[in-house]
């Protein structure tokens, strides 16, 4: 497995950092955006990149401008979306003949989906959501998922049963309404960060293994 750091050009907005992790026998590549509260080097992102590489899925993790600058407040949606488009374009070049997937953790997945809904990104065969943030904590609603009806590629929803930002009673009908395009994988006991309670008898590593297995199977199906 190789891991290389690179820069993604955003034009007048400068550049952001990225990490391309690729196993020798890669069979797909996932452009992976981080969530609102942590960057591409967060332990979860590192674990996903390593676990997916073990399963033949290369990744391109990348920063949004606000995390690159060390700020905590996310950029405006137009900036986030422009960054995801630029990163996915770089991922497409790196992928070559490999099937290309795009997505991310929480906010990163939602931003990617908004890009794909507004104007499909060239080469993307499927979207992967590590905890789609359907609503604010304690305020169940499904409006944030309305745009998904315009996404024409397959989508993998990885959702925990304790996710405060995605009530399963709302996620299930949302996915059902999307038909065969939506694949819902429910992580028993997982919260929005896929952490599980000690009394569950499961470890975080076991959950991460489950997540990586699900993404690898999805990549094989859409590839």
DSSP readout, 208-222?
HHHHHHHHHHHHHHH
> What pLDDT, in 10s, does the model give residues 42-92?
999 999 999 999 999 999 999 999 999 999 999 999 999 999 999 999 999
In the chain, domain spans: 2-222
How much is the pTM?
0.96
CATH code: domain 2-222 is 3.40.50.1820
199 — pLDDT class (breaks 50, 70, 90)? confident
**Dihedral sign for Cα atoms in the order 84, 86, 87, 93:** positive
- The Cα 169–Cα 149 span in angstroms is 18
Helix or strand or coil: residue 143? helix
CA 126 vs CA 107, 166, 200, 209: distances in Å? 17, 21, 32, 20
Task: Name, in order, each residue with C-beta under 8 angstroms of 38's C-beta and a sequence gap of 6 or more.
Answer: 44, 45, 67
**Dihedral sign for Cα atoms in the order 32, 109, 201, 56:** negative
CA 53 vs CA 2, 25, 32, 92, 202: distances in Å? 9, 9, 13, 17, 23
Model confidence at 201: pLDDT above 90: no
> What pLDDT, in 10s, does the model give residues 88-106?
999 999 999 999 999 999 9
> What is the residue-averaged pLDDT of the chain?
96
């Amino acid at each position: 497995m190789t891991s290389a750091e690179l820069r993604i050009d955003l034009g007048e907005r400068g550049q952001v950092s990225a990490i391309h992790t690729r196993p020798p026998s890669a069979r797909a590549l996932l452009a992976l955006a981080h969530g609102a509260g942590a960057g591409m080097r967060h332990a979860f992102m590192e674990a996903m990149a390593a676990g997916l590489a073990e399963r033949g899925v290369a990744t391109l993790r990348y920063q949004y401008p606000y995390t690159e600058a060390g700020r905590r407040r996310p950029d405006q949606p137009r900036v986030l979306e422009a960054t995801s488009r630029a990163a996915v374009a770089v991922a497409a070049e790196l992928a070559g003949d490999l099937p290309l997937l795009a997505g991310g953790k929480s906010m990163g997945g939602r931003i990617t989906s908004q890009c794909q809904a507004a104007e499909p990104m060239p080469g993307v065969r499927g979207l992967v959501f590590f905890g789609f943030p359907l609503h604010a904590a304690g305020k169940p609603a499904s409006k944030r998922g309305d745009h998904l009806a315009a996404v024409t590629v397959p989508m993998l929803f990885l959702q925990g049963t304790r996710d405060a930002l995605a009530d399963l009673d709302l996620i299930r009908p949302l996915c059902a309404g999307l038909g065969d395009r939506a694949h819902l994988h429910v992580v028993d006991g997982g919260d929005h960060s896929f952490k599980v309670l000690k009394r569950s008898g499961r470890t975080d590593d076991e959950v991460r293994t489950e997540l990586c297995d699900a993404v690898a199977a999805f990549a094989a199906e859409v590839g």
